[in-house]
Amino acid sequence: MHFLYLFTHQAYGHSLAREALDMALATAAFDQKISLVFLQDGIYQLLSSKDASSIETKPHCGVISALPLYDIENIFYLATDRDDRCINQESLLAHATAISPSDLQALMASADRIQSF
Protein backbone atom coordinates (compact mmCIF):
# COMPACT_ATOMS: atom_id res chain seq x y z
CA MET A 1 0.00 0.00 0.00
CA HIS A 2 1.28 3.48 -0.86
CA PHE A 3 0.71 6.27 1.68
CA LEU A 4 1.14 9.89 0.62
CA TYR A 5 1.48 12.60 3.26
CA LEU A 6 1.07 16.22 2.17
CA PHE A 7 2.54 18.90 4.42
CA THR A 8 1.00 22.28 3.57
CA HIS A 9 1.68 24.39 6.66
CA GLN A 10 4.71 25.62 8.51
CA ALA A 11 5.65 23.48 11.48
CA TYR A 12 5.27 26.21 14.04
CA GLY A 13 2.30 27.41 16.06
CA HIS A 14 0.58 24.00 16.10
CA SER A 15 1.45 20.33 16.46
CA LEU A 16 0.17 19.08 13.08
CA ALA A 17 3.57 18.82 11.42
CA ARG A 18 5.11 16.84 14.26
CA GLU A 19 2.07 14.57 14.48
CA ALA A 20 2.22 13.98 10.72
CA LEU A 21 5.89 13.02 10.94
CA ASP A 22 5.07 10.65 13.80
CA MET A 23 2.28 9.12 11.70
CA ALA A 24 4.67 8.61 8.78
CA LEU A 25 7.21 6.93 11.07
CA ALA A 26 4.51 4.65 12.51
CA THR A 27 3.40 3.72 9.00
CA ALA A 28 6.99 2.95 8.03
CA ALA A 29 7.18 0.51 10.94
CA PHE A 30 4.65 -1.63 9.04
CA ASP A 31 6.79 -1.74 5.87
CA GLN A 32 4.46 0.42 3.80
CA LYS A 33 5.56 2.57 0.86
CA ILE A 34 5.55 6.20 1.99
CA SER A 35 5.96 9.47 0.12
CA LEU A 36 6.08 12.90 1.73
CA VAL A 37 5.42 16.10 -0.20
CA PHE A 38 6.03 19.52 1.31
CA LEU A 39 3.73 22.01 -0.42
CA GLN A 40 3.04 25.71 -0.09
CA ASP A 41 4.36 26.94 3.30
CA GLY A 42 5.16 23.35 4.24
CA ILE A 43 8.39 23.75 2.27
CA TYR A 44 9.78 25.75 5.20
CA GLN A 45 10.01 22.47 7.13
CA LEU A 46 12.78 21.43 4.72
CA LEU A 47 15.07 24.33 5.54
CA SER A 48 18.39 23.20 6.93
CA SER A 49 18.95 24.19 10.56
CA LYS A 50 21.32 27.05 9.70
CA ASP A 51 18.85 28.46 7.18
CA ALA A 52 15.89 28.09 9.55
CA SER A 53 17.45 30.34 12.19
CA SER A 54 15.69 33.35 10.69
CA ILE A 55 12.30 31.93 11.69
CA GLU A 56 13.45 31.94 15.34
CA THR A 57 12.29 28.50 16.36
CA LYS A 58 13.65 24.96 16.35
CA PRO A 59 13.15 23.38 12.93
CA HIS A 60 12.04 19.81 12.25
CA CYS A 61 14.93 19.25 9.88
CA GLY A 62 16.60 16.83 12.32
CA VAL A 63 13.63 14.47 12.23
CA ILE A 64 13.20 14.90 8.48
CA SER A 65 16.91 14.23 7.93
CA ALA A 66 16.55 10.93 9.76
CA LEU A 67 13.59 9.70 7.69
CA PRO A 68 15.74 7.71 5.21
CA LEU A 69 16.95 5.63 8.17
CA TYR A 70 13.33 4.47 8.52
CA ASP A 71 13.02 3.67 4.80
CA ILE A 72 11.17 6.91 4.06
CA GLU A 73 13.17 8.05 1.07
CA ASN A 74 10.50 9.61 -1.14
CA ILE A 75 10.63 13.20 0.13
CA PHE A 76 9.53 15.86 -2.33
CA TYR A 77 8.63 19.52 -2.66
CA LEU A 78 7.20 21.55 -5.52
CA ALA A 79 9.86 23.50 -7.38
CA THR A 80 7.27 26.24 -7.97
CA ASP A 81 6.70 26.62 -4.21
CA ARG A 82 10.46 26.98 -3.71
CA ASP A 83 10.66 29.61 -6.43
CA ASP A 84 7.56 31.49 -5.20
CA ARG A 85 9.15 31.79 -1.75
CA CYS A 86 12.62 32.73 -3.09
CA ILE A 87 14.27 29.78 -1.35
CA ASN A 88 17.62 28.60 -2.68
CA GLN A 89 17.81 24.89 -3.38
CA GLU A 90 21.00 24.76 -1.30
CA SER A 91 18.99 25.94 1.73
CA LEU A 92 16.81 22.83 1.63
CA LEU A 93 17.69 19.40 2.98
CA ALA A 94 19.75 17.54 0.40
CA HIS A 95 17.62 14.40 0.26
CA ALA A 96 14.42 16.30 -0.68
CA THR A 97 13.72 16.29 -4.41
CA ALA A 98 11.98 18.96 -6.46
CA ILE A 99 8.97 17.82 -8.51
CA SER A 100 6.60 19.54 -10.90
CA PRO A 101 2.83 19.90 -10.45
CA SER A 102 2.30 17.14 -13.04
CA ASP A 103 4.66 14.86 -11.07
CA LEU A 104 2.60 15.60 -7.96
CA GLN A 105 -0.60 14.66 -9.78
CA ALA A 106 0.95 11.35 -10.87
CA LEU A 107 2.13 10.70 -7.32
CA MET A 108 -1.34 11.40 -5.97
CA ALA A 109 -2.89 9.09 -8.58
CA SER A 110 -0.53 6.27 -7.52
CA ALA A 111 -1.27 6.62 -3.80
CA ASP A 112 -3.72 4.35 -2.02
CA ARG A 113 -4.11 6.74 0.93
CA ILE A 114 -3.53 10.50 1.04
CA GLN A 115 -3.31 12.52 4.25
CA SER A 116 -3.00 16.28 4.22
CA PHE A 117 -1.68 18.32 7.14
Residue 28, domain extent: 2-116
> What is the domain-level CATH number for residue 76?
3.40.1260.10
Count of structural domains, the chain: 1
Q: What is the pLDDT of residues 49-100, one digit of tens each?
A: 654 455 555 556 678 888 988 999 999 999 999 999 999 999 999 899 999 9
Q: What per-residue confidence (pLDDT) applies to 12?
A: 72
106 pLDDT above the threshold of 50: yes
> Is residue 36 packed enough to be buried (19+ CB in 10 Å), middle (13-18) or exposed (0-12)?
buried
**For residue 47, how many other CB atoms are within 10 A of its CB?**
21
List Cβ neighbours of 96 (8 Å cut-off, separation of 6 or more). 38, 46, 64, 75, 76, 77
